[in-house]
Amino acid sequence: MHKNKVIIIGSGVAGLSSAVRLACDGFDVTVVEKNAYPGGKLSAFEKDGFYFDAGPSLFTCPSLIEDIFKYANEPIEPYFSYQKLNNTCNYFFSDQTFFKASSNVNELSKTLALYNNEDEQQVLNYLKQADNLYQNTGSFFLKHSLHRLSSYLSLNLLKAIKGFKLKYITKSLHKYNAKYFKHKNTTQLFNRFATYNGSSPFLAPAMLSLISHLEFNDGVFYPKGGMISITNALHQLAIKKGVKFKFNQSVDEIIIEKNCVKAVRVQNEVIESNIVISNGDVYFTYKNLLNNSRAANKILQQERSSSALIFYWGIAKEFAQLDLHNILFAENYKAEFESIFKTKIVYPDPTIYINITSKMEPGIQAPAESENWFVMINVPATDKIDWQKARIEYKKYIVQKINKILQTNIEDYIITEEVLDPKLIESKTSSYLGSIYGTSSNSILAAFLRHPNFSTQYKGLFFVGGSVHPGGGIPLCLQSATITSKIIKEKFNSKHP
């Protein structure tokens, strides 16, 4: 058996990134994917001439993609291109207020002063603090394993401590924002960043305020061809670096001998390897692939993140009021999050996110004079809801809200539809109960309780993706791949060419 052979289970962005990095480090890498396509949640499909990104739709931190190509010593241009947006998002509030959020912080602060009577300097101060928090404390948490002593012996820890303030963990994100801003609409706007990792702003710590830095200070971008171009670029780069892919094949078992990884069983084939990386949900990895119910149940002690209900609509009309990214806020944000995390019931006034890539590539992403709508709401990750019935109920609420805000009858223009609910998310991506970010960050210790990037029980078993450190969302999944690949490289003494 080749001592440097690596099996990666799942080809989400973290699995693809790990594959590229380890192939560049001299490892013999094989990726096993149960679907017919790479990307996991970051996939796409076409229906009736409309093209839809199936999962994540927001692109920030392009430097993380660029870093992979730099590591591979390959030019990024033949594979991937993107542009920065002038406006990050169009916001619609329950009091009929509407504005475009500029990607220029000075313009943004002026907009919030005009519409919400905010102090411009106070807005700039908030974003400056978010910048400092991200660059100092955030960078330590996101770039290092929290489960290795060596991380705490680095000089980066001193930088993290220097940038840390007690309020970031003693206050909820909502309380932190409500103290900073005058208007409830501004607070709601900055509260929404808790949803970027499937959490509630009323429970998650103010540490999550650093997410606003990525969107407003660093910027929001659009990848040419849609989000699927990220998957395609990483997949092609992996092939270029010699990574082998097995599609339409499921790993049935990770074979362990004397607490060491020995092989994986793929249907009737046993593939030997002493290094296995799971890019699947860590819960399912322990329960289904290792038959370790005790470890799996321990993971379930942590609260699941939110899930999503997504309607993919082909719309036979263009709406000038809308942009690439659009948010239609609920009137009572707190009640909405209580329904997601506490009562776990259908909520009649959900916040709606609408993504329309045809705004960026008209005539390509959708037919002429039409739009491709990705309509998403946050919902509970639970099996207590009948999702077939809930789809109908939620659609009614969504349509009512869109019609009221846009002064239209949107159902007149829906000419094709697909739906993705939590049950389907679980079956397609092995995300327990459809929790798209693994565990939530609704506690002070959430970051430390997240599963490490390696197994402490089984030598040679590693993890990447949204269900392990540092968390969910494309940027954090890519960070998990960097952390895990570095640990493997150090443990198995391979050298980057």
pLDDT tens per residue across span 91-117:
999 999 999 999 999 999 999 999 999
Residue 495's pLDDT band (cuts 50, 70, 90)? low
What is the per-residue pLDDT across 39-68, written as a single tens digit (0 to 9) for each?
999 999 999 999 999 999 999 999 999 999
Boundary of a domain, candidates 206, 235, 258: 206
What is the per-residue pLDDT across 205-242, written as a single tens digit (0 to 9) for each?
999 999 999 999 999 999 999 999 999 999 999 999 99
H/E stretch holding 484 reads helix 474-491
Lowest mean pLDDT, pick from 182-196, 381-395, 440-454: 440-454
Q: In this structure, which amino acid lies at residue 91? A: Y
**DSSP SS3 for 397:** helix
Measure the CA angle with vertex 206, ends 202 and 210; round to 5°: 125
pLDDT of residue 167: 81
Q: Are residues 155 and 190 in the same domain?
A: yes
Question: Does the structure show a pLDDT above 90 at 394?
Answer: yes
Q: 468: domain range?
A: 5-42+61-73+225-303+438-491
pLDDT of residue 138: 59
Q: Are residues 125 and 202 in the same domain?
A: yes
Q: Are residues 183 and 257 in the same domain?
A: no
pLDDT of residue 1: 39
Q: In this structure, which amino acid lies at residue 309? A: L
Q: Are residues 136 and 199 in the same domain?
A: yes
pLDDT of residue 494: 55
Boundary of a domain, candidates 206, 236, 254: 206
Residue 158 counted as domain residue: yes
Residue 366 counted as domain residue: no
Backbone angles phi, psi at 312, to 5 degrees: -105, 110
Residue 52 counted as domain residue: no
Tell me the pairing of strands 28-32 and 244-246.
Answer: parallel
pLDDT of residue 420: 97
Question: Does the structure show a pLDDT above 50 at 191?
Answer: yes
Longest dimension (CA), the chain: 67
Question: Does the structure show a pLDDT above 60 at 3?
Answer: no
pLDDT of residue 444: 75
CA neighbor of 205 nearest in space, from 173, 166, 175: 173
Residue 33 counted as domain residue: yes
- Number of domains forming the structure of the chain: 2
Residue 455 counted as domain residue: yes
Instruction: Classify each residue of 391-415 as buried b or exposed e, where b means 16 or more C-beta atoms within 10 Å of its C-beta.
Output: eeebbebbbebbeebbeeebeebbe
Q: What is the DSSP string of 105-124?
A: HHHHHHHHHHHH---HHHHH
User: For residue 490, what is the DSSP state?
Assistant: H
How far is CA 244 from its chain centroid?
25
Question: Does the structure show a pLDDT above 50 at 282?
Answer: yes
Boundary of a domain, candidates 206, 241, 271: 206
What is the per-residue pLDDT across 119-171, written as a single tens digit (0 to 9) for each?
999 999 999 999 988 888 756 566 655 555 555 455 555 555 555 667 878 89
Q: Which residue's structure tokens are 């998957």? A: 231
To the nearest whole number, what is the mean pLDDT of the chain?
92
Q: Are residues 197 and 232 in the same domain?
A: no
Q: Are residues 235 and 202 in the same domain?
A: no
Residue 112 counted as domain residue: no
The domain spanning residue 444 has which CATH number?
Answer: 3.50.50.60
Q: Are residues 230 and 201 in the same domain?
A: no
Q: Taking phi first (over 0 means left), then psi (-120 to 50 degrees means alpha), and beta for anything else, what does residue 26 get?
A: left
What is the per-residue pLDDT across 323-340, written as a single tens digit (0 to 9) for each?
999 999 999 999 999 999
Q: Are residues 198 and 229 in the same domain?
A: no
Q: Are residues 68 and 128 in the same domain?
A: no
Q: Are residues 133 and 188 in the same domain?
A: yes
Residue 471's pLDDT band (cuts 50, 70, 90)? confident
Q: Are residues 297 and 240 in the same domain?
A: yes
Give the rounded percent of residues in the chain with a pLDDT score beyond 90. Answer: 82
Residue 104 counted as domain residue: no
Question: Does the structure show a pLDDT above 60 at 400?
Answer: yes
Q: Are residues 197 and 231 in the same domain?
A: no
Residue 135 counted as domain residue: yes
pTM listed for this prediction: 0.93
